[in-house]
Every structure is written in C-alpha cells, then in structure tokens.
Amino acid sequence: MISIICGTNRGQSVSKKIALYYQNLLKEAGANSYVLDLKELPEDFMNVALYDNAGKSEAFNTLKKKLNESHKMVFIVPEYNGSFPGVLKTFIDALDYPQSLKNKKCALLSLSSGSQGGALALSHLTDILHYCGMNVLAQKPKLAKIEANFKEGQFTNELYVTLLKEQIEAFLPF
C-alpha cells in the first residue's frame, strides 16, 4: 500500500486535490494507495505527539501505524516561503526515527503559485529524507504556476500529466 502524503494541513489545499488526482493515476497503473492529508493530524498534535509525549496521542499513533506499515510513499509538497511547509517537518519529527522512513522508497512532487514550482522545497526535503535513510526517486516533477495549470481537479497542461505518469512508471518498479 502506497502512502500519499499531502504535505500541508491547509484546508481546501490544492495539494490535497493533486493527491487525489495522483491516487487515481496510481489506481489506473494498478497500484493501491491511500491519502494521508496532514489536515487529519490532531489539532493539538504539536502538544500531544512529540518529544516527551511521543506515543501518547492515540489519533496520531493510528496515522503513524498505517504509515509505518507502508514501504513506499509519495509526498505532494506545496512551496511555502521558498521551502516546504513547516507542518511537514514537524510531522517528520514526530515519526519513529529511524524506522518510519529508513530503507523505504519515496517519490516527490511539488507545486507553487510562482515560477519555481517548489524546486527548493524538494531540494530541502530530499536532504532531510536522505538523512532519515529514505531512497528518493530521481524524477521529481515541479509544477509551477499551479493555478493556471490545474483547475477543478484537472490539469489543463498536458505536460504536467505526462510528468506525473512518467514518475509513476519509474516509481512502481523502484
């Protein structure tokens, strides 16, 4: 089972819509997946699931258990202030180090309103995931100007669909 992690907890996020789109592409390619939206994190997650409180939040433990059982992950990452969202780093900090991520495989995809497409965000995240022992797929699509290229749950830019399909083709046997 592939975990698709929606890398923000913002309500109505474009990332969540792209996560659902990606899930559909995986399904068409014959792969089972589920979406872990960081919006599902307990509201008081920072106070109840980290450091001395590790393991104490039932709600977080449930999310973590499912992730721990999964050996492949896809991170859908919006660009926030020239990097990836802080909540995604906090989420990673709350996982079990190193076993939640070590020796597992992931694919990264980023999106942004601006013209960089989240390139720096994926660079930063790649460094961290490598530190945690994850194998990161080399193909990392960066979807710039997302509002102009993704409308009502569909891509209006065929190149972006091609990039996602190529990524999936490389990720499934990875």
Ligand X SMILES: Cc1cc2nc3c(=O)[nH]c(=O)nc-3n(C[C@H](O)[C@H](O)[C@H](O)COP(=O)(O)O)c2cc1C
Residue 4 near ligand X by CB under 6 A: no
Q: Which of 111, 125, 134, 136 binds ligand X (CB under 6 A)?
A: 111
Residues 113-132, interacting with ligand X (CB under 6 A): 113-114
Position with the least CB separation from ligand X: 114
CB neighbour list of residue 39: distance below 8 Å, 6 or more residues apart: 6, 8, 9, 10, 11, 13, 16
Q: Which stretch binds ligand X (CB under 6 A): 37-45, 50-58, 80-88, 99-107?
A: 80-88
Question: Which of residues 2, 4, 5, 14 is near ligand X by CB under 6 A?
Answer: 14
Select the span of 30-38, 57-65, 75-83, 151-159 touching ligand X (CB under 6 A).
Answer: 75-83
Instruction: Give the residue with the Cβ less far from ligand X, 60 or 85.
Output: 85
Q: Considering the rule CB under 6 A, would residue 97 count as an interface residue with ligand X?
A: no
Name which position in 3, 8, 9, 23 contacts ligand X (CB under 6 A): 8
Binding site for ligand X (CB under 6 A): 8, 10, 13-15, 78-82, 111-114, 146
